Chain A
Amino acid sequence: EVQLVESGGGLIQPGGSLRLSCAASGFAVSSNYMSWVRQAPGKGLEWVSIIYSDGSDLYIGGSTHYADSVKGRFTISRDNSKNTVNLQMNSLRADDTAVYYCARDRHPLGDGYFDLWGRGTLVTVSS
Chain B
Amino acid sequence: EVVMTQSPATLSVSPGERATLSCRASQNVNTYLAWYQQKPGQAPRLLIFGASTRATGIPARFSGSGSGTEFTLTISSLQSEDFAVYYCQQYHNWPPLTFGGGTKVEIK
Task: Report the bound CA distance from A112 to B91 in whole Å.
Answer: 5
Q: How far is the CA of A101 from the CA of B43 in the complex (A)?
A: 8
Judged by a CB distance under 8 angstroms, whether B7 is at the interface is no
Instruction: Please state if A46 and B43 are interface contacts (CB–CB under 8 Å).
Output: no
Closest A residue by C-beta to B92 = A112
| A48 smallest CB distance to B (angstroms) | 9
B46 at the interface (CB under 8 A from A): yes
B87 at the interface (CB under 8 A from A): yes
What residues of chain B lie closer than 8 Å to A45, measured between beta carbons?
36, 38, 44, 87, 89, 99, 102
How many chain B residues touch A (CB < 8 A): the figure is 24
Which residue of chain B has the shortest Cβ distance to A68 in the bound complex? B96
Report whether over half of chain B's contact residues are helix, strand or loop; otherwise say mixed: loop
Number of interface residues of A (CB under 8 A): 22
Across the interface, do A112 and B97 meet the contact criterion of CB distance under 8 Å? yes
- Shortest CB distance A58–B (Å): 20
Which residues does chain A contribute within 8 Å of B99, judged by CB atoms? 44-47
**Residue from B91, B95, B101 whose CB has the most chain A CB atoms within 10 Å:** B95
Q: Bound complex: CA of A62 vs CA of B38, how far in Å?
A: 30
> B101: which A residues are within 8 A, CB to CB?
44
Binds B, one of A16-24, A78-86, A87-95, A116-124: A116-124
Q: How far is the CB of B2 from chain A (nearest CB, A)?
A: 11
Q: Are A44 and B34 in contact (CB under 8 A)?
A: no
Among B87, B89, B95, B100, which residue has its beta carbon within 8 angstroms of that of A67? Answer: B95
Binding site for A on B (CB under 8 A): 32, 34, 36, 38, 42-46, 49, 55-56, 87, 89, 91, 94-102
Give 8 CB contacts A-B under 8 Å: A44-B101, A45-B87, A45-B102, A46-B99, A114-B44, A115-B56, A117-B45, A119-B42
Interface pairs A-B: 8 shortest CB-CB? A112-B91, A117-B43, A113-B34, A65-B95, A47-B97, A45-B99, A44-B102, A44-B101
